[in-house]
Every structure is written in C-alpha cells, then in structure tokens.
C-alpha cells in the first residue's frame, strides 16, 4: 500500500513547490512592474499643495521681435523675451526646470549675444545653490554636456521609441512658482532673429504645480522605451477643461489649465491640446485670431518604410463650424516660408470659400512674410503659436499641423477671462490681441490673391486695404 503512494509524495510536494514558486514569481513581477511605473522617487513639492498654493498671479506677455522686422513702433513688445527669461532666472532661489526641443544658445554669430548671456546665467545657477533640471530628447548636445558638467541634471527622453515623434515642448518652471510658456526655444534665434510670443506668470504656484506635473511626467520617462500603464499620482493633472484653476491674473479674474499632446502623454485627467483648442474655439462669441507658422490638416505617418498621408479634420472642422454656424469672425495668420507645404494654399482657399454668399460671414487668411536668408531659413520667421478670442487665449508649442498633434510632445496653456463689464481693466487678452492686430495690419501680412503659376510659386500678393476692413468690423471689445 505504501508502495504506490510513496513515489507520489515527492511529486505532490514538487507540484506545490512549483505552484508556490510561480505565485511568488508573479507577485515579484507585479511588484516590480508597479514600482517601475510609479517610480518611488518622491520629489517634494516644496511643501506647497493644491490647498495652499498661490492663485494671486501676475502675468506678462513676452515677445521677441527681430530688429530688421519693421512693425509699427508704438507696439513694440511690452516685455522683451530675453528680459523675461532674465528676470525669471534672477528670481530663482531653489530650482529651475527647463524643457526645450533645441539647445543652441552659445553659437558664434554676433546676433547670439542674448543667447550667450542666457547660457551664462544657466551655468551660474549652481554657484547660487539652485538646482537645474532639464528634460530633453537630444542625444548629443554639446550645450547639455556643458550644463551637466556645471551641475545640471539632464533626463533623456527617447521620443522615437515612445511616440515615434519629437519633443516640441518648451517651458520653464522656477521654484514651482513662476513659469514661462510659449513658442521660444533655448535657441539664440528665439532671442534675436525669430519672432516669438509667450507668457511669463509670476507668483502662481497653483499653475506652476500643475505644469510641474507635466515636467515630472517627462522626468520619469528617462531612459524608457515605453509609456508605463500605471502612473504615480504626482503626474496626473490637477486642472483641466472641466475643472480649470480659478485665479487672479493681475486684477482680472480668470480660469486656466495646462494641456498636452500627444494623447499618449496625457495621464489621468490631463486635457489634450486638441480638446483645449476645441474648447477655446467653441467658446468664442465674436472673433478668433490665430497666429501659427504652418497650417496643414494632414497627418503624415511612415509605416513599414512607406509614408502614408491622411486628412486630419479636427481643427479644420471646428473652424468651419465657428465661421458658418456661429458667424464668428476668424483671422488666420500663417507664415510663408521655404518650408510652407504647397497644399496649405489649397486648404486655405477651401476655408475661405466657405463664406461665399453668406452674410456676416468672415474668414480671412494672411501670410506673414520676411526676407529669407539662404543660410538660415528661420531668420525673421514668425514662429508664434497662439490663438486669441474675445474671451480666451491659447498658447501652445505646436503649429496647426495634424502630424504635430498626433505624434509630437507639446504643452499648451488656456486662459479664459471672466468678463466683468462694469470695471473693465486691461487684461492679458487685450495685450495678446494687440500683438495680433499689430502683425495682421503690418506690411508683412499679405493676403493671397489669384492663382498659381507653373513654378508653383504664388504671385499677385496684394496689400489688404486694412483700414477699410477695420472700419467695417466693429470690435465688441472696443470702448
Ligand atoms: C501647505 O500644506 C502642507 C501640507 O498640508 C504643509 O506641509 C505646508 O507647510 C503648507 N505650506 C505653506 C506655504 O503654507
Ligand atoms: C531610442 O529608441 C530607438 C528605438 O527603440 C533606438 O533605436 C535608439 O537607439 C534609442 N536611442 C537612444 C539614444 O537610446
Ligand atoms: C510676488 O510675491 C512676492 C511676495 O509676496 C512679492 O514681493 C513680489 O513683488 C511679487 N511679484 C510680482 C511680480 O508681483
Ligand atoms: C510626408 O512625409 C514624406 C516623407 O517624409 C514627405 O515626402 C511628404 O512631403 C510628407 N507629406 C506631408 C503632407 O507632410
Ligand atoms: C448680420 O448682422 C446684422 C447686424 O449685426 C444683423 O442685423 C443681421 O441679422 C445679421 N444677418 C445674419 C444673416 O446673421
Ligand atoms: C501685470 O503686472 C505685471 C507686473 O506688475 C506687469 O508687468 C504686467 O504688464 C501686468 N499685466 C497686464 C496684463 O496688465
């Protein structure tokens, strides 16, 4: 009797062992997975929480306008971008966090002086006891190496592996209190030769806290080749389209939130850039002014070596709706440069034809031109990426090109102003709108007339009779 059972005993224990071992292995893998995705690097948020952060903020419009671009003199920027960066870094006491697609501050051209000054200021942070953290997708940047040698901590994001796109995000957070968001890069061109627009927000730890979560998200992508499926709470959004932050911008009561793209980069509750744009366009009642380098409703994706291009409708759609169904006036300012895709003209012509035979329908498109230089196409380029309406402003990192939103990383900021018709003070919207109108009525902005010639080049640029147009249209905000 013992004979047949005896050999079974060790088999049973062996099976038990295997089962227990398998269970443990599973647990271990699970724990490892959770740990790796949550990252037990708890970065303290300087003791500031959503409950006691500051909502009493100051905001300033910062611009860079190249010297050789003649825009009406009385509307020179209120605050030069280089001064904006300088004051931000001067205020720093503990930490500076920077994301930029490009690091090219310290080149030799004589026009690069502002860039060199900014670079020196970044290098000197360590001697002031300030931590500099940089998230970047550049693998071989000499400037990042120099900064690392001077105490900066740099985290590499492999955008190719993670999203098959690029890192277009550009922002700065100082002491989790002050922020910069806008079109400028850590590039000497942004500080001298290229036209840029952004916002600097001071004393605004609530907004900085939320933008810092975007930074933490990038920070945790260090050396990964995938997006974890479980995220630490420290990267989920604090505010969004449905529950924006209520704050004071100078004397103005406003709401704000940060949006990101691509969708893969939107952890729980984070609003996508494209939804932020939707919301801003849909809430416009009188006008929408858009200034971007490129407008192209196409997505380009290479798949197994071949490139597939598809129509990408979201932005085109929402503009059409606003113009035709809600009779909102839309002005679209695009840059005309060597890299303008010829199909842009077709899409723009199609948009313009919408208003045919419709009363009170207005959609205008103008192209911002500059004298191109052969050696550097970007000199003089209008690199702005924003939209301003009668009640909101959206400042982003992307041009309105489908591929950008689908694959590239970027951030946006939505500011919506609560109108108080009684005591109407000058708001940030008025400043952004004034910047747009200055560009729109300048001699660099030309509307497209006539057709293409054989070379595919457009001719028949004609100066708009802007004064006549201006008088026809009564701004709801003009007092
Ligand atoms: C904010 O609240 C946190 C936790 O409740 C606390 O530790 C911190 O000291 C507070 N910070 C300020 C500036 O009041
Ligand atoms: C980024 O990921 C791609 C694809 O996985 C890989 O080929 C490349 O070597 C990675 N780059 C770096 C610098 O790790
Ligand atoms: C920010 O707050 C500090 C302290 O409350 C104040 O001294 C400073 O002037 C404020 N900065 C701005 C730009 O309002
Ligand atoms: C798509 O990508 C291919 C290859 O990179 C390029 O030749 C083509 O012009 C692109 N098309 C658009 C619409 O961007
Ligand atoms: C156009 O605007 C005028 C004046 O604002 C208004 O009286 C008229 O009803 C509008 N027409 C249409 C078709 O919306
Ligand atoms: C808000 O206040 C700051 C600092 O006082 C000033 O530089 C800025 O121009 C003001 N912004 C607006 C929109 O008035």
pLDDT digits (tens, 9 = 90+) for 98-114: 999 999 999 877 778 99
Task: Judge whether 287 lies within some domain.
Answer: yes
Q: Whose CA is nearest to atom 3 of ligand 1?
A: 47
Q: Which residues of 42-73 are buried (b: 16+ CB within 10 A; e: fewer)?
A: eeebbebeeeebbbebebbbbbbbbeebebee
Question: CATH number for the domain including 155?
Answer: 3.30.870.10
67 Cβ below 6 A of ligand 2 = no
Return the ligand number nearest the Cα of 248: 6
pLDDT, mean over the chain = 86
CB atoms inside a 10 Å sphere around CB 328: 22
Give residue 90's pLDDT: 97
Backbone angles phi and psi of 381, in degrees to 5: -65, 140
Decide: 477 and 432 in contact? Cβ < 8 Å.
no
Q: Whose CA is nearest to atom 11 of ligand 2?
A: 158
Residue 160 CA, ligand 2 centroid: distance in Å: 7
User: 75: which DSSP letter?
Assistant: G
Residue 290 lies in a domain: yes
Per-residue pLDDT, 456 = 39
Give a yes or no: residue 387 inside a domain: yes
Ligand 6 centre and the CA of 57: distance in Å? 10
Domain count, the chain: 1
Residue 226 Cβ inside 6 Å of ligand 2? The answer reads: no
Q: Is residue 314 part of a domain?
A: yes
Predicted TM-score (pTM) of the model is 0.85
Instruction: Please list every protein residue whose CB sits less than 6 Å from any atom of ligand 6.
Output: 58-60, 78, 250, 426-428, 431
Domain for residue 47, yes or no? no
C-alpha 224 – ligand 2 centre gap (Å): 10
Q: What is the pLDDT of residues 204-229, one digit of tens each?
A: 999 999 999 999 999 999 988 888 88
Backbone angles phi, psi at 196, to 5 degrees: -130, 155
Kindly list the protein residues whose Cβ atom lies closer than 6 A to any atom of ligand 4.
Answer: 298, 300, 307, 309, 341
Q: How many helices (H) and strands (E) does the chain have?
A: 14, 24
**Whose CA is closest to atom 7 on ligand 5?**
360
In whole angstroms, how far apart are CA 90 and each of 54, 121, 471?
A: 20, 9, 45
96 has a pLDDT exceeding 50:
yes
Per-residue pLDDT averaged across 429-443, rounded? 94
Q: Which of 359, 361, 472 to probe ligand 5 with, by most ligand atoms within 8 A of CB?
A: 359
Counting ligands in written order, the one closest to the CA of 415 is 6
Ligand 2 centroid to Cα of residue 137, in Å, is 11
Q: Which residue is associated with the tokens 């400042």?
A: 395
Euclidean distance between CA atoms 296 and 342, whole angstroms: 10
Residue nearest to atom 13 of ligand 1 (CA): 48
**Cα 77 to ligand 6 centroid, rounded to whole Å:** 13
Task: Express each pLDDT in 228-240 by its tens digit.
Answer: 888 788 899 999 9
User: Is 347 contained in some domain?
Assistant: yes
Q: Is the CB of 468 under 6 A from ligand 5?
A: no
Mean pLDDT calculated for residue range 160-166: 91
Q: How far is residue 390's CA from residue 388's CA, in Å, rounded to a whole number?
A: 7
Q: Where in the sequence is the domain holding 383, given as residue range(s)?
A: 54-478
For residue 473, pLDDT beyond 90: no
- Assess if residue 274 is contained within a domain: yes
SS3 of residue 104 by DSSP: strand
Indicate whether 45 belongs to any domain.
Answer: no
């Amino acid at each position: 009797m013992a004979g047949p059972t005896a050999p079974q005993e060790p088999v049973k224990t062996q099976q038990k062992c295997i089962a227990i071992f398998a269970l443990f292995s599973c647990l271990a893998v699970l724990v490892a997975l959770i740990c790796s995705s949550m990252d037990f690097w708890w970065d303290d948020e300087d003791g500031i929480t959503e409950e006691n952060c500051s909502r009493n903020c100051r905001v300033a419009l910062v611009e860079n306008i190249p010297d050789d671009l003649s825009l009406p003199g009385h509307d020179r920027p209120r605050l030069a971008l280089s001064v904006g960066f300088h004051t931000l870094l001067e205020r720093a006491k503990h930490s500076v966090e920077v994301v930029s697609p490009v690091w090219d501050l310290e080149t030799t051209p004589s026009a690069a002086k502002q860039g060199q000054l900014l670079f020196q200021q970044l290098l000197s942070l360590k001697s002031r006891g300030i931590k500099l953290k940089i998230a970047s997708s550049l693998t071989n940047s000499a400037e990042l190496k120099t900064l690392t040698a001077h105490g900066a901590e740099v985290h590499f994001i492999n955008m190719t592996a993670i999203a098959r796109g690029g890192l277009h995000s550009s922002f700065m957070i100082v002491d989790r209190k002050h922020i910069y968001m806008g079109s400028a890069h850590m590039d000497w061109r942004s500080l001298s030769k290229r036209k840029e627009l952004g916002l600097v927000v001071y004393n605004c730890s609530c907004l900085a806290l939320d933008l810092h979560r975007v930074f933490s998200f990038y920070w945790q992508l260090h050396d990964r080749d995938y997006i974890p499926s479980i995220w630490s709470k420290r990267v989920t959004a604090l505010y969004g389209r449905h529950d924006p932050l209520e704050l004071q911008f100078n004397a103005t009561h406003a709401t704000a939130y940060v949006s990101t793209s691509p969708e893969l980069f939107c952890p729980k509750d984070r609003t996508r850039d494209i939804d932020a744009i939707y919301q801003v366009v849909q809430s416009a009642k009188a006008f929408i002014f858009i200034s971007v380098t490129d407008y192209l409703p196409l997505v380009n994706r290479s798949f197994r070596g071949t490139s597939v291009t598809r129509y990408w409708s979201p932005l085109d759609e929402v503009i059409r709706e606003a113009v035709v169904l809600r009779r909102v006036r839309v002005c679209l300012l695009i840059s005309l440069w060597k890299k303008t895709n010829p199909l842009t003209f077709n899409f723009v012509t199609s948009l313009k034809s919408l208003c045919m035979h419709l009363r009170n329908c207005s959609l205008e498109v103008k192209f911002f031109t500059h004298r191109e230089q052969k050696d550097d196409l970007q000199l003089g380029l209008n690199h702005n990426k924003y939209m301003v309406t009668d009640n909101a402003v959206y400042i982003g990192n992307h041009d309105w090109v489908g591929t950008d939103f689908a694959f590239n990383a970027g951030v946006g900021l939505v500011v919506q102003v609560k109108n108080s018709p009684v005591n109407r003070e000058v708001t940030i919207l008025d400043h952004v709108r004034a910047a747009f109108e200055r560009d729109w009525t300048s001699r660099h902005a030309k509307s497209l007339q006539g057709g293409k010639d054989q070379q595919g080049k457009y001719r028949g640029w004609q100066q708009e009779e802007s004064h006549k147009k201006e008088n026809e249209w009564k701004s709801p905000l003009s007092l």
